[in-house]
Structure 1
Amino acid sequence: MKVVAVSSDRTHDLRRRVLRAGEANPTLDWPGDHEPTTTHFAAIADGNVIGVSTWLLVDGRVQLRGMATDPDEAGRGVGSALLEAGIEHARRIGATDVWANARVTALGFYRKHGFVISGPEFVTGATGLPHRLATFDLA
């Protein structure tokens, strides 16, 4: 498996299947996807995209969003590899921290990778699922 920067359209299949499953016509091209300060990463194995994440630099901070792993690849380090690549990218561009609206079901994963979970639980309109703020300090 290798993690590489990709165009936003390479994220769409997993965004649809994993993050927007059940939606009839989900919007897969998200605000900020085409900004020059946005980077999309894909984990590739045997020519197939098995994981994706999107990293947006805004006001010195990087927002992680659209993190998804092919369900057949869960538990095999795909998400960890994407986080490592994204955090290294955030450091390289001089960000102060990384933050994400993390699904409650993924909080253990983020904690395991050094993220601090804070704030109250909230539901996003896009997913209807509970989330909390996850932050990783790059200092």
Structure 2
Amino acid sequence: MNWQIEEAEGLDEVHALRRTVFIEEQGVPEADEWDDLDGSAVHLLARVDGVPVGTARLLIDGDTGRIGRICVARAARGTGLGAALVQDGIARLRAQGLRMVRLGAQVHATGFYEKLGFAVCGPVYDDAGIDHHEMEQTL
């Protein structure tokens, strides 16, 4: 699968992907998915043949970046796209001169993020009814 990752020009396609993956597939309540951080974030959007198949959100707080709302459409799962989105986000945050990147990982996905250089740095917590771990990586 050949994808291209770019900064999203708007939020319609990003929100459509997140609605499908988080709200419809994972049962995240709409009130938990939509927040006021979308307007200040950089949104990455991956496409295959022009069709949106993955997204991630980048935020900056001081010298720490945050990668969140990482999702991949069902048809593109298992292709390496999730890792590519995270690595692209890390590279963009590093280019900003940040020292640390963090993310909230669903507990079942901590091994995936550990392979990308992240380490668990906190206890399990509930986010929208799904157990998560805070994870971080020094840049």
TM-score for the superposition, normalised by structure 2: 0.88
SS of the residue corresponding to residue 30 of structure 1 reads: coil
Deviations 1:11-38 (CA, angstroms, capped at 9, x unpaired): 1111111112265972554222112xx2
The root-mean-square deviation of aligned C-alpha atoms, in Å, is 1.7
Give me the whole-angstrom Cα distance separating, in 1, the residues matched to 2:123 and 2:39.
30
Q: How many residues align?
A: 134
Paired residues for 1:34-49 under 5 Å: 34-35=39-40, 38-49=41-52
Match of 1:70 in 2: 73
2:37 is aligned with what amino acid?
G
Task: Give unpaired runs (5+ residues) of structure 2.
Answer: none
TM-score for the superposition, normalised by structure 1: 0.88
Match of 1:3 in 2: 5
Instruction: Please tell me whether residue 32 in structure 1 is matched to residue 37 in structure 2.
Output: yes
1:97 is aligned with what amino acid?
M
Runs of 4 or more above 3 Å deviation: 22-25
Match of 1:82 in 2: 85
Give me the whole-angstrom Cα distance separating, in 1, the residues matched to 2:45 and 2:22.
15
Task: Give unpaired runs (5+ residues) of structure 1.
Answer: none
User: Quick check: 1-10 or 79-88, which moved more?
Assistant: 1-10
